[in-house]
């Protein structure tokens, strides 16, 4: 991505024109209790379209989404969190999105930060921005984050920063903003259909040379917000470490893995 000086007004206008279509994607499963308030907090005018992919919910998620004018895509069977994101990104690319904002519809992350995150992409500072939930231990615990999640997040994030050569505060956030180029380059269809999709995606973003940034984002933990349990978290942690192992072997040319292969675009 070409970087432009902020004092060049014509260049800034060109950037804003290039990224004129912004689409929010919401990977949803049984989100009826939180979806409405999450949609309400998306700043007016900050996005052009919202797409919700419903992973076979058995509540009123689809009904509420349609009530608010959200485009809905329904899976006929439950495919998993990663598979849901694949459908989300395919749909956004097909609709011609220049910037794609992925946010969980469980209201755990604050949608009001969307314009600020988009700004980093519009200015060419980053290709991808993720929300950082952890600014301090005190704030993390005050938000309701369980201690085991906090400490496992700290261990994994430190390890990922060391191996991937980054300096991010939270590798496991469910609030992410991408340029179109990121999604067109990363072979996300080769990723897991489970939660480790997110870890694979970040390792891929580093492998393909994209600039990743993060911003502090208020986070809320409450009964209605989706959260994987301790057993699933443990599995996710081991799977994330496996992704890092694949990254090392791929970079050293000691292995070849599908998640790091150039994709054939198939969203059209």
User: Can you give the three-state secondary structure of the chain, one letter per residue?
Assistant: CCCCCCCCHHHHHHHHHHCCCEEEEEEECCCCCCHHHHHHCCCCCCCCEEEEEECCCCCCHHHHHHHCCCEEEECCCCCCHHHHHHHHHHHHHHCCCCEEEEECCCCCECHHHHHHHHHHHHCCCCCEEEEECCCCHHHHHHCCCCHHHHHHHHHHHHHHHHHHCCCCCCCCCCEEEEEHHHHHHCCHHHCCCCCCHHHHHHHHHHHCCCCEEEEECCECCCCCCCCCCHHHHHHHHHHHHHHHHHHHHHHCCCCCCHHHCCCCCCCC
Q: Are strands 49-54 and 71-74 parallel, antiparallel or unpaired?
A: parallel
- Whole-number pLDDT of residue 14: 47
- Whole-number pLDDT of residue 144: 84
The CATH number covering residue 52 comes to 3.90.550.10
Q: Does a structural domain hold residue 3?
A: no
Q: Does a structural domain hold residue 262?
A: no
Q: Cα–Cα–Cα angle for 192, 180, 197, nearest 5°?
A: 15
Q: Does a structural domain hold residue 266?
A: no
- Judge contact between 235 and 156, C-beta under 8 A: no
Range of the domain at 94: 9-253
Q: Does a structural domain hold residue 4?
A: no
Q: Does a structural domain hold residue 101?
A: yes
| Burial (CB count <10 Å: 0-12, 13-18, 19+), residue 54 | buried
Q: Does a structural domain hold residue 259?
A: no
Structure tokens at 113: 């930060």
Predicted model pTM:
0.88
Q: How many domains in the chain?
A: 1
Q: Does a structural domain hold residue 267?
A: no
Query: How do the pLDDT tens digits run along the chain, 268 residues long?
Result: 444 444 554 544 444 445 689 999 999 999 999 999 999 999 999 999 999 999 999 999 999 999 999 999 999 999 999 999 999 999 999 999 999 999 999 988 999 999 999 999 999 999 999 999 888 888 888 888 888 889 999 999 999 999 999 999 999 999 999 999 999 999 999 999 999 999 999 999 999 999 999 999 988 776 655 566 778 888 999 999 999 999 999 999 999 999 999 865 555 5
- Whole-number pLDDT of residue 146: 87
Q: Does a structural domain hold residue 84?
A: yes
Instruction: Give the C-alpha separation, 215 to 121, whole Å.
Output: 12
């Amino acid at each position: 991505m070409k970087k432009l000086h902020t004092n060049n007004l014509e260049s800034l206008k060109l950037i804003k024109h290039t990224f004129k279509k912004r689409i929010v994607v919401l990977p949803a499963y049984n989100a009826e209790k939180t979806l409405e308030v999450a949609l309400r907090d998306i700043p007016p005018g900050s996005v052009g379209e919202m797409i919700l992919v419903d992973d076979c919910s058995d509540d009123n998620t689809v009904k509420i989404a349609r009530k608010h004018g959200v485009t809905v895509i329904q899976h006929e069977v439950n495919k998993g969190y990663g598979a849901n994101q694949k459908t989300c990104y395919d749909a956004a690319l097909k609709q011609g999105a220049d910037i794609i904002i992925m946010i969980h519809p469980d209201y755990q992350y604050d949608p009001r930060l969307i314009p600020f995150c988009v700004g980093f992409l519009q200015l060419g500072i980053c290709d991808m921005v993720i929300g950082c939930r952890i600014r301090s231990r005190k704030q993390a615990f005050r938000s309701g984050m369980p201690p085991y999640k906090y400490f496992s997040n700290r261990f994994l994030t430190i390890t990922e920063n060391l191996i991937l050569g980054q300096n991010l505060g939270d590798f496991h956030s469910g609030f992410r903003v991408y340029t179109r180029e990121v999604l067109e380059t990363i072979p996300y269809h080769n990723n897991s259909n489970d939660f480790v999709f997110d870890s694979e995606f970040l390792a891929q973003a580093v492998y393909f040379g994209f600039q990743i940034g993060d911003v502090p984002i208020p986070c809320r933990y409450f009964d209605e917000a989706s959260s994987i349990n301790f057993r699933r978290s443990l599995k996710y942690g081991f799977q994330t470490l496996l992704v890092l192992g694949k990254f090392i072997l791929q970079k050293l040319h000691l292995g070849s893995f599908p998640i790091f292969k150039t994709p054939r675009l198939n969203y059209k």
